[in-house]
């Protein structure tokens, strides 16, 4: 696959494929709005360092902006590399880094009932996050048919909704086991 890049670089390239030119700040805002449900949104400094790397490799180009603001857009070479990564790159099994599972692993060091309270709070937070994602998904309705620009983001939103439902079921089942043990 030619050039090896961090996943964040591919994420930023992908966020530049929606037909507009963005400043680093605008790209960070887009990442925060879209990636937060399924990927860690990069820090502002990381956005700029990745844009520098992508520009150096000819994968994005700079466009004169208004004042001191530089705008970026993906190049044909960047689209080609992104396409190769999407189509032929490794699936990369996700690494589970779950703070709730970590806390549950060592819950014996907490107070009695602490794990149950943590899971109850987690379930409430999951419901809030799911509601946020449902709003995003609803905003894509009517623009999510096959062949439209928001078809794939809608599929990811559906995946995220199913994930939150599954995560809530796991947390409810674990909470039930803890209550049975008490």
The residue with greater pLDDT, 95 or 27, is 27
The string of pLDDT tens digits covering residues 44-69 is 999 999 999 999 999 999 997 666 78
The string of pLDDT tens digits covering residues 75-115 is 999 999 999 999 998 888 888 889 999 999 999 999 989 99
Helix (H) or strand (E) holding 30: helix 24-34
Q: Average pLDDT over the chain, rounded to whole?
A: 92
Helix (H) or strand (E) holding 18: none
Average pLDDT over residues 128-139: 96
Given this model, what pLDDT does residue 104 score?
A: 94
- pLDDT interval class at 169 (50, 70, 90): very high
- pLDDT interval class at 20 (50, 70, 90): confident
- pLDDT interval class at 155 (50, 70, 90): very high
Q: CB-based contacts of 169: which residues, under 8 Å, 6+ apart? A: none
- pLDDT interval class at 135 (50, 70, 90): very high
Q: Per residue, what are the HEC states of the chain?
A: CCCCCCHHHHHHHHHCCCCCCEEHHHHHHHHHHHHHHCCCCCCHHHHHHHHHHHHHCCCEEEECCCCCCCEEEECHHHHHHHHHHHHHCCCCCCCCCCHHHHHHHCHHHCCCCHHHHHHHHHHHHHHHHHHHHHHHHHHHCCCCCCCCCCHHHHHHHHHHHHHHHHHHHHHHHHHHHHHHHC
Query: Which residue's entry shows tokens 């939103």?
Result: 157
Alpha helices in 106-150 (DSSP H): 114-140
Given this model, what pLDDT does residue 1 score?
A: 45
Model pTM score? 0.78
Average pLDDT over residues 147-163: 94
Q: Six-digit token pair at 145?
A: 């048919």
């Amino acid at each position: 696959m030619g050039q090896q890049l961090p996943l964040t670089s591919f994420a930023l390239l992908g966020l530049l494929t929606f037909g507009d030119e963005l400043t680093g700040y605008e790209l960070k805002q887009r990442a925060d709005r879209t990636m937060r449900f399924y990927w860690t949104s990069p820090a502002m400094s990381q956005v700029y360092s990745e844009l520098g790397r992508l520009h150096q490799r000819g994968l994005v180009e700079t466009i004169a902006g208004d004042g001191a603001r530089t705008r970026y857009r993906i190049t044909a070479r960047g689209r080609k590399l992104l396409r190769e990564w999407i189509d032929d790159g490794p699936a990369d099994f996700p690494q589970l880094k779950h703070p709730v599972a970590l806390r549950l692993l060592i819950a014996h060091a907490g107070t009695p009932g602490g794990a149950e309270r943590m899971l109850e709070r987690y379930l409430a937070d999951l419901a809030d996050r799911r509601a946020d994602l449902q709003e995003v998904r609803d905003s894509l309705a009517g623009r999510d048919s096959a062949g439209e620009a928001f078809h794939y983001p809608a599929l990811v939103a559906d995946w995220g909704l199913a994930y939150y439902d599954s995560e809530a079921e796991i947390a409810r089942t674990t909470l039930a086991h803890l209550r049975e043990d008490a």
